Structure 1
Amino acid sequence: MEVTGKIKKIEETKTFGASGFRKREMILTTNDQYPQMLKIEFVQDKCDLLNNYQEGQDVKISINLTGREWINPQGEAVYFNAIQGWRIENLQAENSNEIPPMAPAESFETTTNLDENEPDDLPF
């Protein structure tokens, strides 16, 4: 899946536990009629993908939706969802590489240098 929009905020990378699990979150504002602010997380080596981006840039992000179940102390199932990014592309750079549209064709007047008295050898 992909989502496009403008980067609203990029957080610093956070490290968790003895295993050194890394996570970096960002907020993306979509370009929809009713813009949504989505929290997208990048984990482990994908955290570094955000190093070359800054707030205000238009981007396209490839994402996976993840979900998990947790059984709370009362024995009830609680569900969590997350949006994980795994690729990010700068849309501004993509647009700047496009071939600019051609200028509209100018109208050309055709002039004929035919003598009205010469016979016309066209078949119609």
Structure 2
Amino acid sequence: MEVQGKIKVIGETKTYGSNGFQKREMVVTTEEQYPQPIMVEFVQDKTSLLDAFNVGDAVKIGINLRGREWQSPQGETKYFNSITGWRIEKMGTGTAPAGDVPPFDEYDPITNSSDEDHDDLPF
């Protein structure tokens, strides 16, 4: 799965527990009709992937959805979700590189029509 948007927040790498578990969180704001701030966490060796990025960068992030079930001391079951990033790349500025988009007039029926009538419709 992937999420795309602009980086709003990049957190610092934090270390937890005696085993040295590392986690770094970031927030990316989607660019759609109703923009959503999505928190994505990068763990262990993936935390360093964020070093090359800055707030405001447009990015595409490869993600995995993770779920956990937790049983409270009272016997109540709760569920938690997390979004874990495993890849991140900068997106372009929104313009396609030259050569990727054919010239507009290739799709314009007016400029592509000829003076000859090539109507081969049966009706």
Shift of 1:96: 7.3
1:88 is matched with: 88
With normalisation by structure 1, the TM-score equals 0.77
CA distance in 1 between partners of 2:104 and 2:85 (Å): 41
CA distance in 1 between partners of 2:95 and 2:45 (Å): 29
CA distance in 2 between partners of 1:33 and 1:54 (Å): 24
For structure 2, the 5+ residue unaligned runs are: 106-110, 112-123
CA distance in 1 between partners of 2:95 and 2:86 (Å): 24
Shift of 1:103: 6.7
CA distance in 2 between partners of 1:13 and 1:56 (Å): 19
Q: Structure 2 matches for 1:69-88, cutoff 5 A?
A: 69-88=69-88
With normalisation by structure 2, the TM-score equals 0.77
2:46 pairs with 1:46: yes
Q: Give the RMSD, CA atoms, in angstroms.
A: 2.1
Deviating 4+ runs (over 3 angstroms): 100-105
SS at match of 1:66: strand
Q: Structure 2 matches for 1:45-124, cutoff 5 A?
A: 45-92=45-92, 98-99=97-98
Q: Identity rate of aligned residues, in percent?
A: 54
Amino acid at match of 2:36: Q
Q: Residues 98 and 70 from structure 1, CA distance in 2 versus in 1: closer, same or farther, beyond 3 angstroms?
A: same
Tell me the matched-pair count.
105
